A and B are shown apart, each in its own frame.
Chain A
């Protein structure tokens, strides 16, 4: 048996940038995924250095390409569009790769099981706040919302607290944060996080107050959840590997959207006249926020697809609150998620869920437009 396990050691490296230094031994299966710690740290330090170097050099290099190499004028539409695209695409992808990696590592310290334990029997209020916060760092895919929901209910997590988690987890995610940071600066990104958490906390609390437990499908209360034991003990090398895996999974999935989105953004950046957008989506039109939310709720997209377009819209005079409300409604609520949740929730509760969250997002959009 043991001679076989050596095979797994040799196959265990699909992680770029980190060399495999495993020596086959009797304990190969135990050691397979583990590399000497200094290798991991050295690899990380080198990667960080390359990352920072690329980030710093990006602007001068892109300017040199657009204005010197391609001889485009700084004042022309084409020059500005090309420069926008050539600079923003690698910048956003660099940021995305870095943050997704870090979040991937942070998430190895959390799990749905430990979050369930932390929230079980927790009172509302404090519970809503904790659930919204844990929603950011707990690895969670809305495709596994059903077992998670049942597991939370079974552990005595109040319904409203469970909803705070289910709202915050998709809405406050690293892709949205990175894109907002990369395209609008840290203030907007921070505001998005704070407002997203506020909506998750408030909406969950409101749903809890509404006493809607009777609209949960009855079978949910009958299911017995087996013993959950933590199945893994991770080393830093494992955590690094998870971070790299997260880059594969997330950046690998969203990069075409980022590139396409920035291309559209670049086109608008250079060409669409400012007055059109300001008229349609500016602060003057009060109905623009509810309209944006109504449009965004059924849509299913990651933040990557929507955001660069929004950037260009704002650049042309659309109100930031309207744009953020649109993005939140796209990311937080979607038709596929509703269909999944329908297996454990009756329509009445789904309607309450959508109504409360959409209401919260609309309110945030209005307030935002008023304040800024």
Chain B
């Protein structure tokens, strides 16, 4: 189970990124939970000063822009590869 979080205060780009993340998960065919963190304190605590941020399994992979669905898939794959290499 992969956890994907969009960190953003509800701006248009943040909504777009959430949709793209869902699209990426569907295309990728993995089991994943897509969430949206809107609390500014938590967003800041996670080290995001440019929204929207994107985190995969608690790891921040992109900030301040809206990556494409294909890019999101690559970002997810990178995190999973690093995790399996690390374990």
- A residues in contact (CB < 8 Å) with B: 1-2, 4-5, 7-8, 11-14, 29-30, 32-33, 111-113, 116, 139-141, 143-144, 146-148, 150-152, 154, 223-229, 231-232, 245
Instruction: With A11-B73, A12-B70, A144-B64 as known contacts, state yes or no: A225 contacts B47, CB within 8 Å.
Output: yes
A8 touching B44 in the complex, CB below 8 Å, given contacts A144-B64, A150-B49, A231-B61? no
Give the number of residues in B that approach A within 8 Å (Cβ atoms). 38
**Bound Cα distance A203, B41 (Å):** 29
Q: Closest Cβ of chain B: how far from A13's Cβ, in Å? A: 8
Quick check: B77 and A8 within 8 Å, CB to CB? yes
Interface-centre pick from B13, B27, B68 (highest chain A CB count, 10 A): B68
1/0 per residue, CB under 8 A from A, across B58-73: the answer is: 0011111100111101
Contact of B47 among A13, A228, A245 (CB under 8 A): A228
In the complex, the chain A residue whose C-beta lies closest to that of B29 is A4
In the complex, the chain B residue whose C-beta lies closest to that of A155 is B49
B70–A111 touching, CB < 8 Å: no
Name the residue on A nearest B42 (C-beta).
A226
In whole Å, how far is B28's beta carbon from the nearest beta carbon of chain A? 7
Q: In the bound complex, how far is the Cα of B12 from the Cα of A225, in angstroms?
A: 23
Closest-CB distance, B31 to chain A (whole angstroms): 12
Residues of B within 8 A of A4 (CB): 28-30, 77
**A8-B46 CB under 8 A given contacts A139-B65, A144-B64, A223-B40:** no
In the bound assembly, the distance between CA atoms of A141 and B65 in angstroms comes to 9
A5 touches B77 (CB 8 A): yes
Query: In the docked arrangement, what's the CA distance between A236 and B47, Å?
Result: 26
CB of B1 closer than 8 Å to a CB of A: no
Taking the closest CB of chain B, its distance from the CB of A160, in whole angstroms, is: 19
Contacts of A111 in B (CB 8 A): 50, 63-64
Q: State the CA gap A101–B74 with chains docked (Å).
A: 23
User: B28 near A12 (CB under 8 angstroms)?
Assistant: no
Within the complex, the shortest CB–CB distance from B78 to chain A, in Å, comes to 6
Partner of B63, one of A30, A113, A152, A154: A113
Partner of B44, one of A29, A30, A113, A225: A225
Given A8-B74, A11-B70, A29-B74, A223 and B44 touching (CB < 8 A)?
Answer: yes
Query: Known contacts A146-B40, A150-B44, A226-B45; is A7 also within 8 Å of B27 by CB?
Result: yes
**Contact across chains for B73 and A150 when beta carbons are under 8 A apart:** no
Q: Which residue of chain B has its CB nearest to the CB of A12?
A: B70
Most chain A CB neighbours (cut-off 10 Å) among B61, B71, B84: B71
A232-B62 contact given A143-B13, A143-B51, CB 8 Å threshold: yes
Contact in complex: B48, A147 (CB < 8 Å): yes
For B64, list chain A residues within 8 Å (CB).
111-112, 139-141, 144
Q: A11-B27, A231-B60 are in contact. List 16 more A-B contacts (CB 8 A).
A: A4-B30, A7-B73, A8-B70, A11-B69, A11-B70, A29-B81, A32-B74, A111-B50, A140-B50, A147-B44, A150-B49, A151-B49, A226-B45, A226-B46, A227-B47, A229-B47
What residues of A have a CB within 8 angstroms of the CB of B13 in the complex?
141, 143-144
Cα-based distance from A113 to B27 in the complex (angstroms): 31
Instruction: Check A224–B28 contact: CB distance below 8 A.
Output: no
